[in-house]
Structure 1
């Protein structure tokens, strides 16, 4: 039986006033998941959807982050439950102030966790689904039919490719 490759934990964190909330959140995330080894520039998020605006406010921006420590893919469900719990810690009057979307990068794909079922998502346990958001084909990330609009953008893919390069270096060290 082949053991699945370790993968690189990635999170997309978005909020109104992202710099403030990221500074509040970073120590909590690093305590739970270990040091971050990549933090993107602020990325526009609000132009892709207004779905979160009523709950979280206007001017939503986000950051893609990578964690130093590699994980097993089976950990994704537990990680999503943990990030949901962290979102609740930072909620005010029942409204989230920050949204944390965990996933992972493998050399062949970018996978995101979700609590919502959809035709392109596979149940991975504990009320959590996983979707292949982007596939790495012929040297670049390729959209899927159901890829969220923000992940179709070159700006997002550029950061994910940088994280993928970091992952490949970590992977080479393990495989030696």
Structure 2
């Protein structure tokens, strides 16, 4: 019989994207900080539209994104609640049912990058409250490894480099809990 172990805290990450990413992030950043704590890292603006045109009809052309990292570590079980909170923020700013921005929360653990979603797919695990979790990337042999099902943007080195910066911040933060 395996012994139940303490679960590691993880680093909350959000991918915030929109056709007007800087404007909308400035509009909701204080609310994100109020709900999830201080932001300790913002990536450069990342191209998102070259990976999918899916959001153009809803948000307009030129969709870009920013990866955000939050200072406070979270317990992985909180991911479902966080996804529902970010969905509520998106809907509050929507116009005639069209979102102005999308907030995709997830977390970084030293071995994985996990995203939350409302969409069921065979490789996703239900975590409660209408939310599924997907291990999008695995960290092995000193680098991020993607899967066949990984979203195209997260297969790109540009995204993996940004996630590596957040992972290194996380490793520093988690040292405080391992002493």
Q: TM range, normalised to the smaller chain?
A: over 0.9
Coordinate RMSD, CA, aligned: 0.6
Corresponding residue number in structure 2 for 1:54: 57
Question: Where do 5+ consecutive residues of structure 1 fail to align?
Answer: none
Q: Distance in 2 between matches of 1:116 and 1:17?
A: 25
Corresponding residue number in structure 2 for 1:42: 45
Corresponding residue number in structure 1 for 2:106: 103
SS where residue 95 of structure 1 aligns? coil
Q: Distance in 2 between matches of 1:167 and 1:16?
A: 29
Corresponding residue number in structure 2 for 1:113: 116
Corresponding residue number in structure 2 for 1:23: 26
Corresponding residue number in structure 1 for 2:135: 132
SS where residue 101 of structure 1 aligns? strand
Corresponding residue number in structure 1 for 2:172: 169
Question: Where do 5+ consecutive residues of structure 2 fail to align?
Answer: none
TM score, norm. by length of structure 2: 0.97
SS where residue 74 of structure 1 aligns? helix
Corresponding residue number in structure 2 for 1:66: 69
Q: Any runs of at least 4 consecutive aligned residues in structure 1 with deviations exceeding 2 A, and if so which?
A: none
